[in-house]
């Protein structure tokens, strides 16, 4: 936990501000100032060109390339991996005055200022360019991606000569020449380019995955001259403007990007027609109009999701940045989208989604954007077929969900993770259960959830096995959430979640049987389920081995864990971290050190199933053994620490949650944002300090307040209303924004909330 903040941005409740450009931070800022709208993501690079360190990154959800992996010769080990591919730079600009081009790596400049307005989604940047001959040109940039229509985006440049009048040439276009940095080459074949009066379009296909991307733009402004230029994989307009001293000349562009990926309903022809239509209708939009729609979207969004913190501007800025990124990354914009571990902000983790989606991210959407939550689960339904193929490759029946994926196919080339980690599959079941628990959306469960549950249960029944004496069922050769215990038997989390999944499946089946006998029979028939199979699941669930020591109420992380050599993690030299880079690979796996919560993760996900004594004993046993080498780990510990009223410890774990990327704690923000860690930061406040629990019939809260805060409030969508929870040093206040009557538990007592604020005193023990 020796993580140290690297403060660079200016503190502000609603803005991320960079004053005076420091090239050392250029790539960190590219990540920090990333914009996205689930469909597309664009890093905060300098669109006017920059010869310093930069990763010009543009990513489109579900648009990926594939690369072969040297075949292992073993069954179930993948021989191909997929990764999100760096795509068209639709902000491309070059600004030239009398043959001199601006480039912040070479040019003189002053008054640099960049700010991302979290309230509106606008990214603004400005500076004064000092030309070699002393002439000064004030440049102001604005960009945004539309949150209303995810295909649209806008860019604005304002050019004001401070001490001269003259001509300026702006070359603006759509650039498909970017390389994918991890692969080291460009991965696009251009199939079509077109241009007309003030507009450009370009279309390209991925090399091997049969996907297409179309990008078009329309320029608003009054150039003196316009020349179309076609370069390799690039379409450009050379726009010449006459500038007048002290007068701003403005160029805007409206961008429309379309993609054809695996989930596109139609063929290439359909897509081409759609692109043509987009080309024709591009003129209908104006920059200001889509900007207005976007700021309106954000305004509405903040109404239901803002977290306000009183007396802690850094965390205030931090948590709003996190909420902003959650909305940017995903909001149910298109079918088949995923939440990559880095969102759409970089190439790291290949744009792959992990089981973090259901365990860390889904709660945010369940309580802010049900459509998005549903879409997330729909992705697993859409890719059920791939999960079934994967199960087959692993000699299992049913469906085995990939540990890392973009298309539904397993992309993790390390077999020890891809073949041994069952938590992606049980997390999907957990996600369905969690969603259904809050929404009571029975139709969804029947149509989308149950087919998944059946196949995951089938996998669970065939992947596990009976102990030698046939007395208990369990999972052998698995890796639980804690990736520092590689290939173990009866991992507690895996067994527990396996049992949970089977029981939930049986429960859903049973309810269906009770309520809709015919539908039930039809379902069994169409899914080829015999009573015998259901019976088997029931026995397995009943006999599932849960390693647990009654005398101290501690769950054993896996069979044999308690006997493992002990390691004093505080004695590991700081320079040994991250251990993956400094320790012999096998050495990591030979002691009781853990990387991230495992038993404790189970205790968070199904918190209400455990007594406070169990939570305490397990927390106190496992926490000292955890090195938190996963960025998700501290928040989980923080939430449980609050529950145990270990307020200082809880705050210590929380400390960098909201500002993980802003303060570059892991020193790798340059690669992209830690999106799922950002989700955990939200949980840390709502589930942690707010003490919310959503894993039982009634939503409950046990609000606490960190010592350093004057107060805080958060809002969640619940039962078609917005529930506002405010906490100050003395009291917690609950209010239903639209007046719906909401039954909740506060400190275990039923409280009925309406449109009037209800006060509950914060007990002394809950004051941090």
Residues annotated catalytic, as ranges: 483
Task: Count the residues in the chain.
Answer: 768
315 binds its own copies (CB under 8 A): no
Of 587, 707, 708, 738, the one binding its own copies (CB under 8 A) is 587
Q: Could you tell me the two tokens for 421?
A: 């980690």
548 binds its own copies (CB under 8 A): no
Instruction: Give the residue from 547, 465, 468, 533 showing the smallest Cα distance to 502.
Output: 533
Q: Are strands 199-206 and 212-220 parallel, antiparallel or unpaired?
A: antiparallel
Which residues within the stretch 396-435 sit at the binding site for its own copies (CB under 8 A)?
Answer: 396, 415, 419-420
582 binds its own copies (CB under 8 A): yes
Q: How far is the CB of 466 from its own copies (least distance, A)?
A: 6
74 binds its own copies (CB under 8 A): yes
729 binds its own copies (CB under 8 A): no
Task: Tell me the C-alpha distance between 562 and 514, whole Å.
Answer: 44
Task: Tell me the C-alpha distance between 461 and 398, whole Å.
Answer: 9
592 binds its own copies (CB under 8 A): yes
Of 52, 304, 451, 477, the one binding its own copies (CB under 8 A) is 477
Q: How far is the CB of 408 from its own copies (least distance, A)?
A: 19
CA separation, residue 47 to residues 94, 161, 216 (Å): 8, 20, 16
Residue 61 main-chain phi, psi, to 5 deg: -60, 125
Residues 571-597 as b or e (16 or more Cβ within 10 Å = b) = eeeeeebebeeeeeeeebbeebbbbbb
216 binds its own copies (CB under 8 A): no
489 binds its own copies (CB under 8 A): yes
Please identify, among the stretches 40-48, 98-106, 348-356, 464-472, the one whose residues bind its own copies according to the rule CB under 8 A. Answer: 464-472
564 binds its own copies (CB under 8 A): yes
303 binds its own copies (CB under 8 A): no
> Would you say 754 and 709 are in contact if contact means Cβ atoms under 8 Å apart?
no
Instruction: Give the residue from 83, 92, 39, 35 showing the smallest Cα distance to 259.
Output: 39
577 binds its own copies (CB under 8 A): no
Q: How far is the CB of 469 from its own copies (least distance, A)?
A: 8
**70 or 134: CB nearest its own copies:** 70
568 binds its own copies (CB under 8 A): no
> Would you say 604 and 618 are in contact if contact means Cβ atoms under 8 Å apart?
no
389 binds its own copies (CB under 8 A): no
184 binds its own copies (CB under 8 A): no
User: In which element (H, E) is residue 1 found?
Assistant: none
Please identify, among the stretches 309-317, 519-527, 564-572, 707-715, the one whose residues bind its own copies according to the rule CB under 8 A. Answer: 564-572
Of 8, 14, 109, 476, the one binding its own copies (CB under 8 A) is 476
Please identify, among the stretches 168-176, 244-252, 559-567, 720-728, the one whose residues bind its own copies according to the rule CB under 8 A. Answer: 559-567
492 binds its own copies (CB under 8 A): no
Task: Tell me the C-alpha distance between 29 and 281, whole Å.
Answer: 34
Q: How far is the CB of 458 from its own copies (least distance, A)?
A: 16
70 binds its own copies (CB under 8 A): yes
Q: How far is the CB of 405 from its own copies (least distance, A)?
A: 18
CA separation, residue 61 to residues 81, 350, 427, 567, 700 (Å): 16, 11, 22, 42, 35
Strand partners, 466: 473
Q: How far is the CB of 476 from its own copies (least distance, A)?
A: 4
Q: How far is the CB of 429 from its own copies (least distance, A)?
A: 21
73 binds its own copies (CB under 8 A): yes
Instruction: Give the residue from 361, 625, 352 showing the smallest Cα distance to 484.
Output: 625
**∠ at Cα 408 (407, 410), nearest 5°?**
105
> Would you say 166 and 100 are in contact if contact means Cβ atoms under 8 Å apart?
no
To 10 degrees, the CA torsion angle through 126, 250, 49, 95? -120
Sign of the dihedral through C-alpha 386, 390, 393, 396:
negative
Q: What count of Cα atoms within 13 Å lies in the side-chain half-sphere of residue 397? A: 13
75 binds its own copies (CB under 8 A): yes
Of 72, 105, 268, 743, the one binding its own copies (CB under 8 A) is 72
Cis geometry, peptide bond prior to residue 292 (ω within 30 degrees of 0): no
Q: How far is the CB of 680 from its own copies (least distance, A)?
A: 25
Of 528, 586, 697, 765, the one binding its own copies (CB under 8 A) is 586
Of 67, 583, 644, 645, the one binding its own copies (CB under 8 A) is 583
**139 or 564: CB nearest its own copies:** 564
User: In which element (H, E) is residue 129 found?
Assistant: strand 122-130
Instruction: Give the residue from 654, 640, 662 showing the smallest Cα distance to 322.
Output: 662
Of 560, 578, 624, 739, the one binding its own copies (CB under 8 A) is 560
Q: How far is the CB of 76 from its own copies (least distance, A)?
A: 4
Of 225, 311, 562, 667, the one binding its own copies (CB under 8 A) is 562
643 binds its own copies (CB under 8 A): no
**584 or 611: CB nearest its own copies:** 584
Task: Tell me the C-alpha distance between 644 and 768, whole Å.
Answer: 11
Cβ neighbors of 248 (< 8 A, separation 6 or more) are: 138, 140, 158, 159, 160
Q: Could you tell me the two tokens for 663?
A: 């303060």
Q: How far is the CB of 421 from its own copies (least distance, A)?
A: 11
Cβ neighbors of 470 (< 8 A, separation 6 or more) are: none
Strand partners, 727: 712, 732
**270 or 580: CB nearest its own copies:** 580
User: In which element (H, E) is residue 161 found?
Assistant: strand 152-161
**146 or 557: CB nearest its own copies:** 557
99 binds its own copies (CB under 8 A): no
> Would you say 399 and 383 are in contact if contact means Cβ atoms under 8 Å apart?
no
395 binds its own copies (CB under 8 A): yes
Of 519, 580, 696, 755, the one binding its own copies (CB under 8 A) is 580
Complete DSSP assignment for 703-727 = --B-TT-SEEEEEEEETTEEEEEEE
469 binds its own copies (CB under 8 A): yes
Please identify, among the stretches 142-150, 221-229, 381-389, 485-493, the one whose residues bind its own copies according to the rule CB under 8 A. Answer: 485-493
Please identify, among the stretches 118-126, 332-340, 580-588, 723-731, the one whose residues bind its own copies according to the rule CB under 8 A. Answer: 580-588
Instruction: Give the residue from 504, 736, 498, 483 showing the smallest Cα distance to 632.
Output: 483
394 binds its own copies (CB under 8 A): yes
Please identify, among the stretches 69-77, 130-138, 442-450, 724-732, the one whose residues bind its own copies according to the rule CB under 8 A. Answer: 69-77
Please identify, among the stretches 36-44, 314-322, 371-379, 558-566, the one whose residues bind its own copies according to the rule CB under 8 A. Answer: 558-566
Q: Where do contacts with its own copies occur on this chain (CB under 8 A)?
A: 70, 72-77, 393-396, 415, 419-420, 465-469, 476-477, 486-487, 489, 559-560, 562-566, 580-587, 589-592
């Amino acid at each position: 936990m020796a993580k140290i903040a690297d403060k660079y941005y200016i503190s502000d409740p609603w803005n991320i501000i960079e004053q005076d450009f420091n090239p050392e931070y250029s790539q960190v800022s590219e990540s920090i100032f990333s914009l996205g709208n689930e469909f597309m993501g664009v890093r905060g690079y300098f669109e006017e060109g920059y010869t310093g360190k930069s990763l010009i990154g543009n990513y489109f959800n579900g648009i990926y390339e594939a690369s072969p992996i040297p075949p292992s010769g073993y069954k179930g080990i993948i021989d191909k991996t997929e990764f999100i591919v760096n795509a068209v730079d639709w902000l491309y600009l070059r600004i030239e005055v009398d043959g001199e081009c601006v480039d912040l790596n070479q040019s003189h400049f002053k008054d640099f200022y960049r700010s991302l307005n979290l309230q509106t989604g606008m990214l603004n940047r400005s500076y004064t360019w000092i030309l070699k001959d002393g002439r000064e040109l004030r440049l102001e940039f604005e960009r945004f991606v539309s949150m209303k229509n995810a295909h649209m985006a806008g860019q604005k440049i304002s050019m004001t000569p401070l001490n001269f009048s003259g001509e300026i040439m702006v070359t603006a276009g759509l650039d498909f020449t970017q390389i994918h940095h991890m692969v080291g080459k460009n991965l696009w074949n251009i199939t079509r380019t077109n241009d007309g009066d003030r507009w450009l379009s370009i279309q390209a296909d991925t090399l091997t995955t049969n996907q297409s991307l179309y990008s078009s733009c329309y320029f608003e402004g009054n150039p003196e001259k316009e020349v179309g230029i076609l370069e390799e994989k690039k379409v450009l307009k050379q726009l010449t403007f006459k500038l007048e001293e002290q007068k701003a000349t403005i160029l805007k562009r409206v961008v429309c990007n379309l993609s054809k990926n695996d989930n596109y309903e139609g063929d290439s022809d359909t897509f081409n027609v759609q692109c043509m239509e987009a080309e024709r209708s591009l003129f209908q939009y104006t920059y200001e109009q889509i900007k207005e729609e976007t700021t309106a979207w954000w305004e509405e969004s903040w109404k239901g999701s803002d977290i306000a913190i009183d007396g802690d501007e850094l965390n205030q800025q931090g948590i709003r940045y996190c909420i902003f990124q959650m909305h940017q990354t995903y909001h149910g914009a298109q079918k088949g989208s995923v939440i990559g571990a880095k969102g759409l902000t970089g190439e790291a983790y290949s744009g792959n989604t992990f089981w973090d989606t259901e365990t860390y991210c889904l709660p945010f959407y369940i309580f802010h954007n049900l459509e998005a939550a549903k879409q997330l689960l729909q992705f697993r339904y859409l890719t059920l077929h791939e999960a079934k193929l994967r199960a087959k490759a692993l000699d299992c029946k049913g469906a085995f969900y990939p540990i890392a994926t973009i298309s539904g196919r397993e992309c993790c080339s390390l077999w020890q993770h891809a073949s041994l980690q069952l938590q992606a599959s049980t997390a999907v079941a957990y996600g369905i259960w969690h969603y259904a628990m809050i929404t009571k959306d029975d139709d969804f469960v029947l149509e989308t959830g149950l087919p998944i549950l059946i196949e995951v249960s089938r996998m669970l029944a065939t992947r596990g096995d009976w102990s030698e004496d046939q007395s208990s069922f369990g999972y052998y050769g698995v890796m639980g959430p804690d990736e520092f215990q590689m290939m173990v038997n009866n991992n507690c989390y895996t067994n527990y979640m396996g049992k949970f999944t089977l029981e939930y499946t049986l429960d859903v089946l049973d309810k269906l049987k009770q309520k809709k006998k015919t539908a039930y029979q039809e379902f069994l028939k169409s899914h080829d389920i015999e009573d015998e199979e259901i019976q088997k699941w029931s026995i397995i669930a009943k006999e599932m081995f849960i390693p647990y020591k009654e005398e101290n109420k501690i769950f054993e992380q896996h069979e044999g864990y308690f006997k493992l050599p002990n390691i004093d993690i505080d004695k590991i030299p700081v320079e040994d971290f991250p251990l993956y880079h400094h320790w012999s690979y096998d050495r990591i796996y030979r002691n009781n050190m853990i990387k991230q919560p495992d038993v404790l993760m189970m205790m968070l996900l199904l918190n209400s199933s455990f007594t406070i004594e169990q939570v305490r004993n397990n927390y106190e046993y496992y926490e000292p053994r955890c090195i938190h080498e996963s960025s998700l780990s501290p928040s989980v510990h923080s939430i449980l620490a609050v529950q145990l009223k270990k307020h200082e410890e809880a705050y210590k774990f929380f400390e960098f949650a909201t500002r993980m990327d802003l303060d570059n704690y892991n020193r790798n923000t340059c690669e992209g944002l830690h999106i799922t860690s950002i989700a955990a930061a939200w949980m840390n406040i709502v589930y942690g300090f707010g003490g919310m629990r959503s894993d039982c019939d009634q939503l409950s809260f046990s609000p606490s307040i960190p010592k350093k805060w004057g107060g805080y409030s958060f809002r969640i969508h619940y039962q078609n209303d917005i529930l506002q929870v405010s906490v100050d040093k003395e009291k917690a206040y609950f209010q239903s924004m639209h007046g719906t009557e909401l039954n909740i538990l506060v400190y275990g007592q039923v409280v009925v909330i309406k449109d009037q604020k209800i006060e509950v005193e914060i007990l002394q023990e809950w004051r941090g």
